[in-house]
Chains A and B, each alone.
Chain A
């Protein structure tokens, strides 16, 4: 349903007793995680939509204040369990910046490989579940098959499938071997072969196009007013990517593009993510190529860390957008405050405005195309 027929739309003066309320979630089969949408409807049309969140709140920020800096490491990958590596390494890099720790070259390259593989696996899962939301079951099975290959490779060095705690202040826990690198190469080869296949499977499917083209348009000032980042922003033509805007790690050494579209609809967000997988493949390829020999941790490391007093901010580009950590140190070995600025939180906060006037069936497509991860919103 691309352009709603104006006759179908509820008049602004529709009487209150013609409205009804629908609770979508928190256990709706096509709602993501534990998101609950409180919809006020006039027929199929959404008059107001209110996301209700907090069902997966685990008090990560409170936990941070209750433990030492190093003990917060395992929490980070649990904030967003689909791209946990990126969050875990973000925290390490933030602390390295604060504590002025030099990270060995080899560790930098390994981190980049791990980050980008994780980004691909996150996008693959999104691809599968997004199509599942729209009624296509088969792509989900293929994507999970591919994603499994990536998890296997990462499992080999990190020892976990999702909640990696691979980073340490100064480097990574384990060195990679030839089997890992061969595995990563095989994953790249496979993903590159499969992406065109996925696209030919769904991209021109008439149902898919009908449900995505022109649906959930987010463009212009709305993006900035809500602080939207990540693929939803790039799908509206703004080439903002923290890896470019504020390069961290060694991202300034790699040749990659920031895919953008201009339509700002579900289809544009879909295409941006597919293109991003290819760009991540390119980065991994270059990182494997350039991987130097050497240590993965700096010489002797301390067991206790006492950063200088003050406020610090560190941002990375997660699979969902701008992830920032605001860290306040009071000079002791416990953080005084860690605020996690998560991209899905800001992206989802625009939903009341985006969903207004759309139809119930489009809600699934729109919320799916934003790619929200609820544990990351609720923290």
Chain B
């Protein structure tokens, strides 16, 4: 190692905010610490990571209605230095629409696009998000593409030829 972690990075103080926190083996799964938390704690958790000098690496979701009967939010935090990746798993209700969590945008603006993507793909809403709208799928889409019941690609009906249109001048 020829460089050190930035000096202002400290271990985040998360006492009491998580339901469970366990060290993990990064050589096996890439995570240094795994946390499980409830939705009402995600903003406070983000704030603690922010104070400790970490950055929000990503937010995503999983459709776990099949096995856990829940929609799951996934946050990973890391720092600019020797890796110290924290995984935060948050299980929400299985209702779509209905599943919702507070928005982390006030703490990390990076959450803006990540949360929009989660909303776009899963229909999970974020309370307090400044402009929650679709980001990758068309604005007029009426589906959330990464839900497991959205359908398998090979099940899609064959595309029909568009109707003949008359050219007008």
Contact = CB atoms under 8 A, between A and B. Distances in A.
Interface of A: 53-54, 57, 59, 61-63, 65-66, 97-98, 224-227, 233, 238-240, 242, 244-246, 257-258, 310-315, 322, 324, 326, 328, 330, 336-337, 339, 341, 345-346, 349-350, 353, 378-379
Contacts of B138: 54
Contact of A322 (B57, B60, B113, B148): B57
Contacts of A61: 121, 146
10 closest Cβ contacts across the A-B interface?
A313-B30, A246-B83, A54-B136, A240-B80, A341-B58, A339-B60, A227-B110, A349-B113, A57-B136, A224-B55
A311 B29 contact: yes
Contacts of A341: 57-58, 60, 76
Interface in B34-72: 50, 53-58, 60, 62-63, 67
B109 interface: yes
B76 A326 contact: yes
Contacts of A54: 134-138
Interface string B101-123: 00000001110110000000100
Contacts of A337: 60, 62-63
Given A227-B55, A378-B136, A313 B85 contact: yes
B74 A258 contact: no
Contacts of A224: 53-55, 80
B6 to A, nearest CB: 7
Interface in B69-111: 74, 76, 80-83, 85, 87, 89, 108-110
9 contacts: A54-B137, A57-B137, A62-B150, A225-B55, A225-B109, A226-B108, A226-B109, A226-B110, A326-B76
B67 A330 contact: yes
Nearest to B67: A330
A322 to B, nearest CB: 7
Contact of B113 (A314, A326, A345): A345
B87 A311 contact: yes
State which size class the interface on B falls in: 35 or more
Contacts of A330: 67
Given A313-B76, A341-B58, A378-B136, A245 B110 contact: no
B87 to A, nearest CB: 7
A313 B31 contact: yes
B165 interface: no
Contacts of B89: 311
Nearest to B112: A349
Given A54-B135, A227-B108, A311-B29, A245 B55 contact: no
Given A311-B29, A312-B30, A313-B29, A53 B60 contact: no
A225 B54 CA distance: 9
B58 to A, nearest CB: 4
Nearest to A55: B136
Contacts of A66: 152-154
Interface in B109-166: 109-110, 112-113, 121, 134-138, 145-146, 148, 150, 152-154
Contacts of A326: 58, 60, 74, 76
Interface string B1-25: 1110010000000000000000000
Contact of A225 (B58, B85, B108, B153): B108
Given A54-B138, A245-B81, A324-B58, 4 more contacts: A97-B28, A225-B110, A324-B76, A341-B60
A171 to B, nearest CB: 20
Nearest to A338: B60
A65 B153 CA distance: 10
B70 to A, nearest CB: 14
